[in-house]
Chain A
Amino acid sequence: METECQNRLPSQPSYAQSIPKLSSRVLISMIQDAEHPKAIELLSMVNALPVSKVLTNIQWEAGVIDPVVSDALHSTSVGSHLAICGDERFIWACWSVASQAGWLNDEMTLLKTEDVRNLYCVHCGHIQAISTQTEAECQSCQVQLFVRDHFSQRLGAYMGVCLDANQPYGGEVK
């Protein structure tokens, strides 16, 4: 674990392999897919804590988070823990709402389920979903992008930069 952390770029996100032992009394879990093995593992341990709130079927796609979820994140007290379980896009959409509510990174456990992640095109600002590939075409400006390891927590996306400096634009110049 330790060496893996040291080798990572500081801007590369890190995900937990499992849920750590918690001293918190309250655990809030935000789960994308309750059937996923990681979610099942998480759900099996939530009962061990005195207070637990499980949030599923979360509306997050459009960058708008359920008021119910937002309320739950705002109305707890310090000392609670938050587990976010889903693909990278889901994780960072939830992370951003939690951060705004005042949660710190060491109060959250991020459990990644799938390799779906967001790619941000630095040329036109478009965000699209990709898998583990290192190259992709921007769906908006058609530039061929190289997927860098650099991750922006604010955008919840990896930076995509023009693969070929001689081909800085796709079809049409925007």
Chain B
Amino acid sequence: MMRSMIEVEVTKVKQITDVIREFTLSPMTGSLPGFSSGSHIQLHLPTSVRVLKKAYSLLSDPADTSSYRIAVRLQEHSKGGSRFMHERLSEGDHLHITPPANLFAPNSFARHHLMIAGGIGITPFLSYLAEFQRQSKSYELHYAYRGGVTDAYVTDLRQAFSAKLHTYDSNLEQRLDLDQLLSNQPVGTHVYVCGPERLRLAVQEAATKNAWSPSRIHWEAFAGAEPGQAFQVELARLNKTLEVSADESLLEALEASGVEIPNLCRGGVCGQCVTTYLEGEVEHRDAFLSQADQSQQLMPCVSRGRCGSRLVLDL
């Protein structure tokens, strides 16, 4: 079932760094649905080609439902989403968004919260910080960025949380030693990672090396689908054939042809969009399915058919 959409107005656009912009979204009337730290919303962006659906973390304080704030980094190889947000969206525009959903909530039993952010991956942690402060939780934030480019909010963070903030500017060759960091965390710590894939992999590697239980590691994939090669897909039960172009995801192609698939993260982590396939070779890019399941199922929000092979879905 598709969740009912909310219409909002862009009430403020603020340039945070050269490549990062913040948007304030306000309700047409009243207030917006409440949310918990780590929640995201989907924005429906009416680009010239099609309506793009993009998920963004809410960075505002969960206690404030008078508006939502999100920050968007202009991706160089943008499929149109971040480019649209940076170049076309301005104050006074109206948009449709989904109500917030949370796939990245802090663990409520944690005795210490260790947050690791890379660049724009700082956004969910801004909502964590508001909550941790309020509840006097034990926490620390490690923030790696490129100074002057992806160092969003670093000045504000320094002012408000200097004692708990550790920054690493790649321009100054400051390196975050994950092995050292994870070798020395008090029992009861949970670690949260948000940033580029290589940061997540590095945290996972350091965690494994230090014998961390996988249930202490939490991460958010905010990157969304990477483009790939164009391919063809057949919908066996609907008796339809679709062309998926290089810059759209399989999920987007299905939606464009009127096939609605439940989805939440659009980043291959939540498991909502799972679809069975009957034939063909798949380029699996999700972080949800086990290898065994991948022989029959795929996550169309990120995974694609291999170019040249005939992909047949059980739809």
Contact = CB atoms under 8 A, between A and B. Distances in A.
Given A79-B210, A102-B110, A102-B111, A74 B187 contact: yes
Contacts of A23: 211
Contacts of B110: 102
B187 A77 contact: yes
Interface string B196-223: 0000000000000011110110000000
Interface stretch (B128-136, B140-148, B177-185): B177-185
B189 A78 contact: yes
Contacts of B188: 78, 101-103
B215 A79 contact: no
A95 to B, nearest CB: 14
Interface string B63-77: 000000000000000
B258 interface: no
Interface string A71-84: 00111111111000
A75 B188 CA distance: 10
Contacts of A22: 211
B30 interface: no
The listed residue with most A CB atoms (<10 A of its CB), out of B109, B110, B186, B211, is B211
B109 to A, nearest CB: 7
Contacts of A75: 186-187
Number of chain A interface residues as a range: 10 to 19
A25 B216 contact: no
Contact of A77 (B109, B183, B213, B215): B183
A174 B188 CA distance: 42
A97 B210 CA distance: 23
Nearest to A104: B213
Contacts of B187: 73-78, 80, 101-103
Contacts of A77: 183-187
Contacts of A76: 186-187
A79 B212 contact: yes
Interface in B209-258: 210-213, 215-216
A164 interface: no
A52 B189 CA distance: 21
Interface string A81-121: 10000000000000000000111101100000000000000
Given A22-B211, A102-B189, 16 more contacts: A23-B211, A24-B211, A74-B186, A76-B187, A77-B184, A78-B187, A78-B210, A79-B182, A80-B187, A101-B188, A102-B186, A102-B187, A102-B188, A103-B188, A104-B213, A104-B215
Interface of A: 22-25, 73-81, 101-104, 106-107
22 contacts: A23-B211, A24-B211, A25-B210, A25-B211, A74-B187, A75-B186, A77-B183, A77-B184, A78-B182, A78-B185, A78-B187, A78-B189, A78-B212, A79-B183, A79-B210, A79-B211, A101-B111, A101-B187, A102-B110, A102-B187, A102-B188, A106-B213
Instruction: State the 8 A-B residue pairs at the shortest beta-carbon distance, nearest first.
Output: A102-B188, A79-B211, A102-B111, A24-B211, A79-B210, A23-B211, A78-B185, A106-B213
